[in-house]
Chain A
Amino acid sequence: MIVFLVVLNLDFFLPRLAPGNAAEILAAGSKVPQQAIILLEQRFGLLKPLYIQYELYLKGIFSWPPDFGISYGYYPDTVTHLFEVRIGWSMILLLSSLAFGIVLAYAVAAASALKRGGRLEAAALNISVLINSTPIFWSAMGLLWIFSIWLGIFPLYGNVDFGVSGAGYVESVAEHALLPVIALGLSIFGESYLLLRGSTLESLKSDYVFAAKSRGLYARLISTKYVLKNSMLPLISVMSFSLASLVSRLVLVEAVFGYPGIGDLIIDAVRLHDFPVIEGSLFYLTVFVIIGGLIGDFILVRLDPRLKL
């Protein structure tokens, strides 16, 4: 809730701190006619005193659908509508990468918890440190180069081929999404493997694991059922926390792959100096992160009743 208020105000005051008003900034460096600037100034009340602007701004946001004005770049589309169109594609990317990354991390962690200090653990540890510090846009460009430019297996950009339907449509979507999902999923893997490992090490030393061992249970059973099940809790709580950084990475991946989700929209907005879109995207993405955090909390409480206050 507090976060929401902070973003609300940040979104309003940050642009107003800049010298000149938004319409003038827009005019510098673009070909918008003088008339449009005057219209914009009237539309956002940019020449009125600050508190009236603030009131207008709040009114816009709390109406339904929320009003962030009209995109400069995709005139006359509204920011909210642009988001409606693109959020689905971003969600496809985000959710499948989350699934891919976490399942992979879980599997590797389960295998490496069986043998402490083994070769698999060392390799997975080094790889995930490396993944964590590789800029994701660079690794994404690497994937794109190898598979799309050099080998030509996957498409260069976009989300779906034009003019396909039925099963072909699904196939085409999957084909376009595969590389971005691998890029993002691997970065999620790196992050969550480190985490799972940390909490695994702790629960391996706990009494219930010792008890399970002394009862003669299989190592495999111990690692999946006893150790990793308990490691899921910190993973979920940290994941809902790092959702914000995940969103940033999503933006970069979409930028590289030209995948028409919200990230791509933001990149276009940077090029076109499309103010309302960037303001709106900051707002919507933050709301998204907050909702994601709430869902995470909800799942946590369901999984672990001790957390209920």
Chain B
Amino acid sequence: MQVQTRPQQKSKLRDAIHWFRVRFFRTRSAKVGWVLILSILILVLIGPFFEPYSPTATAGAYDSPPSLSHPFGTDYLGHDLLSQVIYGAYPSLLVGLVAALGATLFGFVVGVLGGYYKRLEWVLSASTDAILSIPSLPLLILIGIIFVVTNQLIIGGLMLVLWAPAARAVRSQVASIKKLPYVDAARTSGYSDWRIIWQVIVPKVGSIAMAYFVLLVSVSIVLATALEFIGVGNPQIVSWGSILYFAQQYGFFAGDWWWVLAPGLAITVVATGFALIGFSFEEILNPRLRT
């Protein structure tokens, strides 16, 4: 017996757009977040066409403060910092997005399985707790000095550390959904476990995973930059973290404040943007937090 009527393809698309708008655009903080992210994205996407300097070319005087020809100043080798920030955005954003995506997917799978299957719960929640109580920075540093640091390695390391919080949130949600009567109803009407997970539980906890994804992007960009800043990273690649690394090594104590200001500001703007979107998303999911 077909109880549900299949919606038309067109309205499905409209549903999806509506779903997206409700979750990502409704609150003011989410809008601010989008503005922040878009402003950086525009700078990064359009910047290379206008920026006359290569990030690795000596473009001007050494250590010069911001001026008209170099709006963010230059570093100790005369690199233009504006173009460094623009080009440095690519590895930083890429690492952040991919690591957050991987961590969320993995955490989602672990969370759903751990919340649904009683037998798996112990193993999965123990490993989640283990990851949660290992300080992530020292662990990543250890990984970073053992292996040759590449973007893939950093992404992998971040995934290893960041899946746990997502898994924990998803698991508790799944465990509470599982107790609801309609899950029992689905089971008594002969749904297999698999089908219950896919058709009943996953659509319910998908939103949480999305919220976590957005928050984790912000976390992983900051964490990846922190690693590079410490010196666990490939200083040859221009990224926000490596700019800060060189700045601290060669310019900061000499008073080159502009060298530190620009990349740090870029990171903060992006991270704040994603965090605002994530928080407003959480607020929509959990209306008690609303002001």
Contact = CB atoms under 8 A, between A and B. Distances in A.
Interface in B221-279: 222, 225-226, 229-232, 244, 248, 252-253, 255, 257, 260, 264, 267-268, 271-272, 274-276, 279
Given A137-B229, A198-B289, A286 B244 contact: no
B169 interface: no
A286 B135 contact: yes
Nearest to B218: A133
A267 B226 contact: no
A121 B260 CA distance: 31
B120 interface: no
Contacts of A251: 135, 137-138
Interface size range of chain A in the complex:
35 or more
A93 B205 CA distance: 40
B49 interface: no
Contacts of B45: none
B147 interface: yes
A89 B17 CA distance: 54
Interface in A135-179: 135-138, 141-142, 145, 149-150, 156
Contacts, number: 145
Nearest to A267: B230
A243 B127 CA distance: 17
Interface stretch (A10-18, A44-52, A94-102, A215-223): A10-18
Q: Is the interface of A mostly helix, strand, loop or mixed?
A: helix
Given A2-B129, A134-B268, A286-B134, A255 B230 contact: yes
B130 A117 contact: no
Contact of B289 (A18, A130, A136, A201): A201
B11 interface: no
A293 B272 contact: no
B57 interface: no
A7 interface: yes
B147 A270 contact: no
A212 B271 CA distance: 41
B257 A270 contact: no
Contacts of B127: 6
Contacts of A129: 29, 272, 275-276, 279
Nearest to A117: B291
A42 interface: no
Contacts of B272: 129-130, 133-134
Given A135-B225, A137-B244, A289-B134, 13 more contacts: A7-B130, A10-B134, A15-B142, A133-B274, A141-B248, A149-B257, A251-B135, A267-B230, A267-B231, A270-B145, A270-B231, A273-B145, A282-B135
